[in-house]
Chain A
Amino acid sequence: MSEFDAIIVGGGLAGSTAAYVLAQQGLEVLLIERGNYGGSKNMTGGRLYAHSLEKIIPNFAEEAPVERRVVKERISMMTENDAFTIDYHSPRLAQAGSDSYVVMRGEFDRWLFDKAEEAGAMTAAGIKVDELIVENNRVTGVICGDEEMRADVVILADGVNSLLAEKAGLRKRVQPSQVAVGVKEVYGLPAKVIEDRFGLTGNEGTAWLFAGSPSNGLVGGGFLYTNKESISLGLVLGLEHIGESEKTIEEMMVAFSNHPEIAPLIKDAKLLERSGHVVPEAGLSMVSTLYGDGYLICGDAAGFCLNIGYMVRGMDLAIASGEMAAKAVIAAKEKGDFSSATLQSYKTMLDESFIMKDLAVYKNFPSFMENPRIFNQYPAMVSEIMAEMFIVNGSPAVPLRKKAMKHLKTVGLMNLLKDGFKGVKSV
């Protein structure tokens, strides 16, 4: 007899969602988190697309500690001193069903973790799981220090560095080519100052991504999200070629925060926190084992993350996969069978959901992004064309078509066509 129907490892969004859904159905669950509270080890860029949590906890944004609702999207191409920005502002971004919120995980995950506890889950924060118990090729529990705990099923929601899955041979070690490192700084400012600097009112927020000089030639870019009383600023940098970069991550972060586009936005702000985290980036090709006898894997631990350049999505996938893992466990409990044959329903649900469908749609995107022109030559080209358009200094005017052509030729018209075609095909 197991002590629990399910043990869930990891009190991030995937794990707390799974625990919440299971506890609501009256199952005996234990949610274990190594940090002192849910979210204490977690970091994200910023934006949670609401749809998946909305289905589980309707109107969650009214009670959860969310920062701002995004109504303004910005994308900039940057060179060392220039920035070319696309700005899209629309109430449609905030409509129920397609709304998204900037969140900070220390607060947000803590809330969800506590919701799982309120729903009846037993929670254990400040406890690290050291190992999975595997007997006759079946996961039967977890080991924490010198304590063993058993359950009919273990849900692994322990994030991108799932040491547990790796140790138990359920998953291969993550490769540098599959991930990026994220670094983030949170700058405190009064709400009024943020609203003025970004042209926002009330709880409106901005989501802003940057391509070009911020990643200093590496696959990646910068991000900025407005919180209620702070700004999250950071970089995401592919690890594959990071050893060859001439700058360290700190040097890139300093250059980014001192960029003429950014510096005035964080002027007089106080640094509140510096964080780091790895982002799974390889999309579908990094999704590995998802279930087996006595276990399920969800969230980042399963590789469910989409980075498609102008947006990063991992949190809505973590929540939805946590919910599906819980539903598969509920079905298994009804049958009284926790073998891989029954838990396979998890994979079926994933396949039918936006998770696998979206991962499939964008499956060629990670390789498209490896093209160095995207991060170097295109931002430079755009900035040169803009300079030609807007700079008037008394020298005789050249027709715009000619001005632009000169810069398009630098990159190569064939390259431009090829990349344009590949880009369109991959999204």
Chain B
Amino acid sequence: MTMSVEEKLGVNKFFVNEGKPHIEIDPNYPDMKEKLKLVKACPGGLYKLNENGTLSFDYAGCLECGTCRILCLGTVVKKWEYPESTMGVEYRYG
């Protein structure tokens, strides 16, 4: 029954605004502590640390919780908006 976090997100309903990220980050942000906060805390597991110490991030599975904004807006997180009207995650259960 082990599902990866990507597989788990795969059961959700998303309307992805292709090419228009609602969150933008600085993947090369120097302070490792800041980057680790995001890797630890994002409930979508969308922030991943690469071997070279940079961050990779995919906005497509975003649950719009705002955690990364609260933790790192102004450091790693450069922009955080809600997705455009009608876009993003749609909870059928919630």
* Residues of A near any B CB (own CB < 8 A): 34-36, 39-44, 104-109, 126-128, 144-145, 160-161, 163, 173-176, 179, 181-183, 185-186, 230, 237, 239, 242-243, 245, 247-250, 254, 271-278
Beta-carbon nearest neighbor of A32 in chain B = B85
Which residues of the partner chain B approach A179 to less than 8 Å between Cβ atoms?
A: 70
Which residues of the partner chain A approach B41 to less than 8 Å between Cβ atoms?
A: 181, 237, 239, 242-243, 248-249
Among B34, B67, B94, which residue has its beta carbon within 8 angstroms of that of A43? B94
Which residues of the partner chain A approach B66 to less than 8 Å between Cβ atoms?
A: 160-161, 278
Interface check B89, CB cutoff 8 A: yes
How far is B87's CA from A127's CA once the two chains are assembled, in angstroms?
10
Among B3, B36, B42, B91, which residue has its beta carbon within 8 angstroms of that of A42? B91
Find out whether the CB atom of B69 lies under 8 angstroms from the CB atom of A272.
no
How far is B93's CA from A44's CA once the two chains are assembled, in angstroms?
10
Q: How many A-B residue pairs have CB under 8 A?
A: 138
The smallest C-beta distance from A236 to any residue of chain B, in angstroms, reads: 11
Which residues of the partner chain A approach B5 to less than 8 Å between Cβ atoms?
A: 250, 274
* Contact A275-B94, Cβ < 8 Å, known A173-B73, A243-B33, A243-B36: yes
Interface check B56, CB cutoff 8 A: no
Please name 9 further chain A to chain B contacts, defined as beta carbons within 8 Å, in addition to the given A186-B93, A243-B37, A249-B40, sorted by A numbering. A39-B91, A41-B90, A43-B94, A107-B94, A173-B70, A181-B67, A275-B12, A277-B63, A278-B66
The smallest C-beta distance from B82 to any residue of chain A, in angstroms, reads: 6
The smallest C-beta distance from A180 to any residue of chain B, in angstroms, reads: 9
Q: Return 9 A-B CB contacts under 8 Å, by A number.
A: A41-B88, A104-B94, A109-B94, A160-B66, A243-B41, A248-B40, A249-B42, A249-B45, A273-B93
* Contact A239-B93, Cβ < 8 Å, known A41-B88, A248-B40, A249-B40: no
Find out whether the CB atom of B65 lies under 8 angstroms from the CB atom of A39.
no
Chain B interface size band reads 35 or more
How far is B45's CA from A185's CA once the two chains are assembled, in angstroms?
14
Find out whether the CB atom of B91 lies under 8 angstroms from the CB atom of A239.
no
Beta-carbon nearest neighbor of A158 in chain B = B82
The smallest C-beta distance from B37 to any residue of chain A, in angstroms, reads: 4
Which residues of the partner chain A approach B2 to less than 8 Å between Cβ atoms?
A: 254
Among B33, B45, B85, B93, which residue has its beta carbon within 8 angstroms of that of A34? B85
State the majority secondary structure of interface residues on A: mixed
Which residues of the partner chain B approach A278 to less than 8 Å between Cβ atoms?
A: 65-67, 70
* Contact A40-B9, Cβ < 8 Å, known A175-B70, A242-B37: no
Which residues of the partner chain A approach B65 to less than 8 Å between Cβ atoms?
A: 161, 181-182, 276-278
How far is B92's CA from A186's CA once the two chains are assembled, in angstroms?
11
Which residues of the partner chain B approach A242 to less than 8 Å between Cβ atoms?
A: 37, 40-41, 71
The smallest C-beta distance from A222 to any residue of chain B, in angstroms, reads: 14
Among A41, A104, A276, which residue has its beta carbon within 8 angstroms of that of B44? A276
Which residues of the partner chain B approach A185 to less than 8 Å between Cβ atoms?
A: 8
Find out whether the CB atom of A274 lies under 8 angstroms from the CB atom of B12.
yes
* Contact A271-B63, Cβ < 8 Å, known A34-B85, A41-B88, A249-B42: no
Among A41, A160, A161, which residue has its beta carbon within 8 angstroms of that of B89? A41
Find out whether the CB atom of A174 lies under 8 angstroms from the CB atom of B70.
yes
Find out whether the CB atom of A276 lies under 8 angstroms from the CB atom of B40.
no
Find out whether the CB atom of A275 lies under 8 angstroms from the CB atom of B90.
no
Find out whether the CB atom of B91 lies under 8 angstroms from the CB atom of A161.
no
Which residues of the partner chain B approach A275 to less than 8 Å between Cβ atoms?
A: 12, 43, 63, 89, 91, 93-94
How far is B44's CA from A237's CA once the two chains are assembled, in angstroms?
14
How far is B63's CA from A373's CA once the two chains are assembled, in angstroms?
32
* Contact A105-B43, Cβ < 8 Å, known A36-B86, A243-B33, A275-B63: no
Find out whether the CB atom of B40 lies under 8 angstroms from the CB atom of A273.
no
How far is B69's CA from A277's CA once the two chains are assembled, in angstroms?
12
How far is B22's CA from A34's CA once the two chains are assembled, in angstroms?
14
Top 10 nearest A-B pairs (CB, nearest first) are A276-B43, A105-B94, A106-B94, A276-B63, A161-B66, A243-B37, A183-B43, A276-B65, A126-B86, A106-B91
Which residues of the partner chain B approach A145 to less than 8 Å between Cβ atoms?
A: 85
Interface check B24, CB cutoff 8 A: no
How far is B19's CA from A202's CA once the two chains are assembled, in angstroms?
48
- Give a binary string over B38-70; 1 marks a CB under 8 Å from any A CB, 0 the rest: 011111110000000000000000011111011
